[in-house]
A = this chain, B = another copy of it.
Amino acid sequence: MINADLIIKNAIIITLNSKFDIIENGSIVIKDTDIIAIGKTEDIEKQFVAHKKICADNKIVMPGLVNTHNHLSMTMFRGLADDIELQAWLNKYMFPAEAKFVTEETVKLGAEIAMVEMLHAGTTTFNDMYYYEEQVAEVAKKIGMRGIVAESFIDFPVPNSATPDVTEKHTRYLYEKYKNDPLITVGVAVHAPYTCSEELLKRGAKLAEQLDINYHIHIAETKWEYDLIKKKHNLTPVEYLDKLGVLNENVVSAHSVWLDDQDIDIYARRKVGVAHNPECNMKLASGVAPIPKMIDKQIKVGLGTDGAASNNNLNMFAEMQVMALIHKLWNKNTTVIPARTALRIATLGSAEVLRLDKKIGSLETGKKADIIMLDISKANTIPIYDYYSAIVYAFNAAHVTDVIINGQEVMRNDIILNIDEKDIKNKMNDLARKISTAIKIVSSQ
Chain A residues engaging chain B, CB cutoff 8 angstroms: 75-76, 78-80, 82-86, 89, 113, 116-117, 120-121, 279, 281-288, 308, 311-315, 318, 321-322, 324-326, 328-329, 331-336, 338-341, 377-380, 382-386, 388-390, 392-394, 396-398, 421, 424-425, 428-429, 431-432, 435-436, 441-445
Contacts and interface: CB of A to CB of B under 8 A. Distances in A.
Contact of A322 (B75, B78, B322, B393): B322
Contacts of A392: 444
A432 B324 CA distance: 25
A341 to B, nearest CB: 8
B380 A397 contact: yes
A98 B253 CA distance: 46
A444 B325 contact: no
Given A287-B329, A379-B421, A382-B429, 20 more contacts: A78-B385, A79-B383, A79-B386, A82-B339, A83-B328, A84-B334, A113-B382, A117-B379, A283-B328, A288-B329, A313-B396, A315-B396, A326-B326, A338-B444, A340-B444, A341-B445, A386-B442, A386-B443, A386-B444, A389-B444
Nearest to A443: B386
Contact of A338 (B338, B394, B445): B445
A299 to B, nearest CB: 19
A20 to B, nearest CB: 9
A121 B80 CA distance: 25
Contacts of A312: 389-390, 393-394
B380 A117 contact: yes
Nearest to A311: B393
Contacts of A445: 338, 340-341
B82 A386 contact: yes
Contacts of A121: 380
Contacts of A321: 318
Most buried by B among A89, A336, A388: A388
27 contacts: A78-B383, A78-B394, A80-B385, A82-B338, A82-B386, A82-B393, A84-B334, A84-B335, A85-B334, A116-B379, A117-B378, A117-B380, A282-B326, A284-B328, A312-B393, A313-B394, A315-B380, A326-B326, A338-B444, A382-B432, A383-B429, A383-B432, A385-B432, A385-B441, A386-B442, A392-B444, A396-B397
Contacts of A82: 338-339, 386, 389, 393
A385 B444 contact: no
A339 B84 CA distance: 11
Given A113-B379, A397-B398, A83 B334 contact: yes
A425 B379 contact: yes
Q: Which of A80, A326, A379 is packed against the most chain B CB atoms within 10 Å? A: A379
A428 B394 contact: no
Contacts of A79: 383-386, 389-390, 393-394
Contacts of A281: 329
- Most chain B CB atoms below 10 A, which of A85, A334, A431, A436: A334
